[in-house]
Structure 1
């Protein structure tokens, strides 16, 4: 359980706040039923909320960075941090790199040890671990599948590197745990 005042929560997009384990582009993306309530709970607690997401479709011209940014801001996020690159580009900002978290810390004067990451993929957990954030894996999106892989010792080293501090059923469960 956390024993500090959370400065900020970084939340992944696809599979965490809505959509599925696949990218769903702005305009057709749908929030999970409790996502708005979850965001409101964090805001009511005075916690800054940032989206951090890999969106390789931007570099392929399938959507614009502004489409994603505008959509995420409309959901209630304070700021948005997006890696627009494809995996094979080997950029420095794509999760599991903690670069987006470090940039947000610099932009917003955050101590990442007082921040949390909520996501549905192991790449979210690794980025959080490398940045020193609390790690919360949700079972929505790819979460259940990723969790099963690691619990079955398919990727034991990665489990040791980035085992979640909490495993939540969904975003609302994750937020409730963080705010306890």
Structure 2
């Protein structure tokens, strides 16, 4: 089973420093939805793992987060794509939870749900914590320069072996070549 784990904001859709708080604010990065559809066509299971501290901060509720994710999945369906699962951490940065990236809790949940070994699984993110969470369980890190990626690529703590691409479409082009 081929699995890939994607962050949401900054990888699939445009990010915002003010958070994506309602469906109208969710806008796909050009080529990202088609890239996910290409992964599906190539036999990949596509999983989203996303910190959503806006829930814990009270900026939006679970119904709104579900509506945002529903907009994403409908938009994906329109180009022939799908997600196999969406994992998220609703907690704030000061939480002691184990699911908020850079902690690996969501990745451990993915391994359990899909009965999968995470070693070598591509993790695609635009921030250091996305990559650190995946690397902690043996994933291969891919940094995209969309979202916060341009700033992240300068971080001296970037995990060893991180491959850097302009966007999700470029990562997928390499993985499906």
Q: 1:91 offset after TM fit, Å? A: 1.3
Corresponding residue of 1:146: 152
Name the residue aligned to 1:25. 21
Give the match's secondary structure for 1:19: coil
CA contact (8 A) 1:17 1:35 kept: yes
Aligned CA distance change for structure 1 residues 149 and 85 (closer, same or farther; 3 Å): same
Unaligned stretches of 5+ residues in structure 1:
1-5, 151-157
CA offset digits 1:51-82 (Å, max 9, x no partner):
00000011123222423443443332110000
Superposed CA offset, 1:22-49 (max 9, x none) = 3223412100110111101100001000
Give the alignment of 1:91-106 within 5 angstroms.
Answer: 91-106=97-112
Alpha-carbon displacement from aligned partner over 1:121-156 (angstroms, at most 9, x marks no partner): 010111111010111000111001011233xxxxxx
Q: Which of 2, 8, 18 lines up with 1:7 in the alignment?
A: 2
Instruction: Give the Cα separation in 1 of the matches to 2:152 and 2:171.
Output: 17
Moved over 4 A (4+): none
Q: Report the counterpart of residue 169 of structure 1 in structure 2.
A: 166
Distance in 2, matches of 1:24 and 1:54, equals 12
- C-alpha RMSD over aligned residues: 1.7
Contact persistence 2:104–2:134 (CA under 8 A): yes
Whole-angstrom distance in 2 between the partners of 1:113 and 1:119 = 17
Distance 1:51 1:72 in 2: 11
Instruction: State how far apart, in whole Å, the 1-side matches of 2:154 and 2:52 are.
Output: 24
After TM superposition, the score normalised by the length of structure 1 is 0.85
SS in 2 for 1:149: coil
Match of 1:55 in 2: 52
TM-score (norm 2): 0.86
* Structure 1 Cα separation of the partners of residues 120 and 97 of structure 2: 26
Query: Could you tell me how far apart the structure 1 residues matched to 2:56 and 2:118 are?
Result: 28
Are 2:64 and 1:67 aligned? no
Report how many residues are paired.
166
Q: Is 2:97 aligned against 1:81?
A: no
What SS is found at the alignment partner of 1:88? coil
Give the equivalent residue in structure 2 for 1:155: none
